[in-house]
Amino acid sequence: MTHVRRTLLLACLLCPAPRLTAQVGVPPSASPYGEIRPGTTFEGFGGTLAGSGGPLHAGPRDGPVMGVRALLRANSTVSLGFGAWGALTKRTVIDPTAAVAAREVSEVDHQLFGAEALFQFNLTGGKTWHGLAPFVAVGLGITKATTTNDTFGYEFGTKFYFAPSVGTRMFVGERMYLRAEARGFTWKLKYPSSWALEPTDEPGTPEAPNAVNPTGRTGQYVVAPALVLGIGLAF
């Protein structure tokens, strides 16, 4: 029995010890996650506003959009941003007294300028995943058209708006990232009361009205989608 015990003890001493490092998690160099630099970043962006003008074709249409923004606490789950933007769009001039086929008189320049606060929820918190930091956000702001009113009573004026968005930041270094975002500018258009009247050149009937705004509604919310790309730099 003593001989057996000595043999077992010798075998245990000669066996290689198991590598405990294999039981530890993924090495930092191989982790898909990376830290986002804390602090504030400044962003510049540009893209395309793809407005349709709404059902009555009165609001802003297509055009380029560009702007700047400061994003506070860029490495937190919730980030707060402040920015300004401008868009060089077009809009349709509508003559409510003309026949249906001739009521859309022309397209004119319709420049928009806006300022907003952005509330951004970073889906990966203070980290990136394979260099990406996806987010959902909403912008709350005010915008104003710089063009003058037309002679038919329509006015875009100054609007409050909200703009839900989804996108991602792609980090190309510790201080720099690219940003891709899809937004939906949502504002309420107001219609002149004259648009509810039948056109003098081609009046309709109660069953088949020809008014620009046959329902008589004073306004409605419309969405102007936008796709924007930008670059951010941390300080």
Query: For residue 109, what is the domain's CATH number?
Result: 2.40.160.20
Instruction: Establish if 7 belongs to a structural domain.
Output: no
Instruction: Establish if 11 belongs to a structural domain.
Output: no
DSSP 9-53: HHHHHHSPPP-GGGGS---GGG-SEEEPPPS-EEEEEEEEEE---
Instruction: Establish if 27 belongs to a structural domain.
Output: no
Token reading at 155: 């006015």
Instruction: Establish if 4 belongs to a structural domain.
Output: no
Instruction: Establish if 94 belongs to a structural domain.
Output: yes
pTM of the model: 0.82
Neighbours of 99 (CB within 10 A): 13
Residue 54 structural domain:
37-234
Count of domains for the chain: 1
Instruction: Establish if 28 belongs to a structural domain.
Output: no
Instruction: Establish if 196 belongs to a structural domain.
Output: yes
CA distance 48 to 63: 6
Amino acid letter for position 114: G
The pLDDT value given to residue 6 = 53
Instruction: Establish if 73 belongs to a structural domain.
Output: yes
Give mean pLDDT in consecutive 10-residue pieces for the chain, a chain of 235 residues: 48 46 54 83 96 91 96 86 96 93 91 97 90 95 84 90 97 92 97 93 93 92 96 91
| Maximum C-alpha span of the chain | 119
CA distance 184 to 137: 11
